[in-house]
């Protein structure tokens, strides 16, 4: 989406995490850059139809864009929000299909970038902004940084958790995921696993939201540099159910339940106890994700 010079928000300083991500090995970053450029043209190109954008809803209650439903929100836009938010919030651990092994663990920082259009009523009428020129995001997509932790509870079962909170806004997300290995073993060449996950929104007074997911993932481990470095490309397919419920006094909308499907490809590079990962996802709104993690027994 193009905006005129007078409506642009001031550029913000890059976070420490973004600076770290920019230094990832080229084999990982290249895929993210290509995917991000393609999505930028798709979501905010000359044909997006939002040269000037809608009037933003303003509230001084929060310092960053926050959830607050507006009276203009329609049932159709509420359903669109439910489906697209399911992609934004979906639990993506950026891991291959091999099990960790009992007692092994990993802690990671990650960032998801999703190509929604913040000029759509689905997002404009569900958010308020600190001023009339402060859009939901700059550039080509909405970015969600977060933290994940993962532990092997048995030789074939791993459990992961996810958390993110915008400190100057009114919302965050938390989630849990279980991965069950069906083929292969820790350190093996080929692997296949199934996952189940749930993510919930917390913080807003007038919105309840959850997304439930089920994944099938397969991967191949390739040893490099005398097996001191490993690269694990993987692919996955996912089915999801997003559920939304409004508790606002300014609208009267039915609950929405939206089914979705996604397909992802990615790669994990492991060097000693450090893991770097990138993943790109095809869904109703596109997504690209990056991760840096470390742990015991990796």
What pLDDT is recorded for position 110? 93
Q: Which residue ranges make up each domain of the chain?
A: 5-296
> Which range among 16-20, 123-127, 133-137, 141-145 shows the weakest confidence by mean pLDDT?
16-20
pLDDT band at 26 (very low <50, low <70, confident <90, very high): very low
The band of 289, judged by pLDDT with boundaries at 50, 70 and 90, is very high
- Beta bridge partner(s), residue 293: 108, 275
Q: Element (H or E) spanning 88, and its range?
A: helix 75-89
Q: What pLDDT score does 52 carry?
A: 59
Q: Tell me what pLDDT residue 188 has.
A: 81
* 187 — pLDDT class (breaks 50, 70, 90): confident
Q: Going by C-beta distance under 8 Å and a sequence separation of 6 or more, which residues neighbour residue 165?
A: 171, 172, 203
More reliable by pLDDT, 100 or 40: 100
**Residue 206 scores a pLDDT above 60:** yes
Split at pLDDT 50, 70, 90, the class of 298 is low
Q: Averaged over 47-62, what is the pLDDT?
A: 72
- State the chain's mean pLDDT as an integer: 84
- As a whole number of Å, the end-to-end CA separation of the chain is 42
pTM here? 0.80
Provide, rounded to the nearest whole percent, the portion of the chain with pLDDT above 70: 82
Of 278, 267, 228, residue with least CA distance to 36 = 278
| Rounded CA Rg of the chain | 20
Which pLDDT score is estimated for 87?
94
CB–CB of 190/220 below 8 Å? yes
* Helix, strand or coil, per DSSP, at residue 157: strand
33-42, 167-176, 195-204, 267-276: least confidently modelled range? 33-42
Average pLDDT for residues 195-215, to the nearest whole number?
97
**Alpha carbons 114 and 17: distance in angstroms, whole number:** 17
> Is the separation of the CB atoms in 162 and 199 below 8 Å?
yes
Percent pLDDT > 90 in the chain is 67
Q: pLDDT by residue (tens digit) across 207-254?
A: 999 999 999 999 999 988 777 899 999 999 999 999 999 999 999 999
Sequence length of the chain is: 298
Q: With 50 as the cut, is the pLDDT of residue 6 above it?
A: no
- Backbone angles phi and psi of 215, in degrees to 5: -125, 150
181 touches 153 (CB < 8 A): no
Inter-residue contact 276 to 84 (CB < 8 Å):
no
Determine the average pLDDT of the residues in 194-199: 98
Alpha helices by DSSP H, listed for the chain, are 16-21, 26-44, 75-89, 121-124
């Amino acid at each position: 989406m193009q905006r005129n010079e007078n409506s642009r928000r001031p550029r913000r300083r890059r976070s420490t995490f973004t600076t770290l991500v920019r230094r990832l090995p080229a084999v990982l970053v290249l895929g993210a850059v290509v995917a991000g450029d393609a999505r930028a043209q798709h979501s905010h190109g000359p044909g997006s139809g939002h040269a000037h954008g809608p009037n933003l809803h303003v509230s001084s209650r929060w310092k960053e864009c926050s959830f607050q439903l507006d009276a203009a929100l329609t049932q159709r836009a509420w359903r669109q929000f439910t489906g697209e938010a399911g992609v934004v919030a979906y639990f993506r651990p950026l891991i291959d299909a091999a099990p960790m092994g009992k007692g092994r663990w990993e802690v990671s920082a990650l960032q998801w970038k999703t190509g929604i259009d913040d000029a759509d009523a689905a997002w404009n009428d569900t958010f308020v902004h600190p001023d009339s020129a402060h859009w939901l995001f700059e550039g080509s997509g909405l970015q969600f940084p977060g933290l994940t932790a993962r532990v092997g509870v048995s030789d074939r079962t791993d459990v992961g958790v996810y958390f993110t909170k915008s400190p100057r806004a009114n919302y965050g997300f938390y989630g849990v995921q279980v991965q069950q290995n069906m083929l292969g073993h820790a350190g093996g060449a080929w692997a296949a696993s199934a996952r189940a996950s749930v993510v919930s929104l917390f913080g807003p007074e007038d919105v309840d939201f959850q997304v439930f997911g089920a994944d099938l993932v397969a991967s191949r481990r390739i040893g490099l540099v005398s097996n001191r470095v490993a690269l694990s490309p993987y692919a996955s397919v996912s089915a999801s159910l997003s559920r939304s419920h409004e508790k606002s006094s300014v609208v009267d909308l039915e609950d929405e339940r939206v089914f979705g499907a996604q397909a992802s490809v990615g790669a994990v590079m492991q060097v000693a106890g450090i893991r770097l990962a990138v993943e790109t996802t095809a869904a109703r709104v596109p997504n690209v994700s990056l991760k840096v993690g470390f742990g015991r027994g990796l």
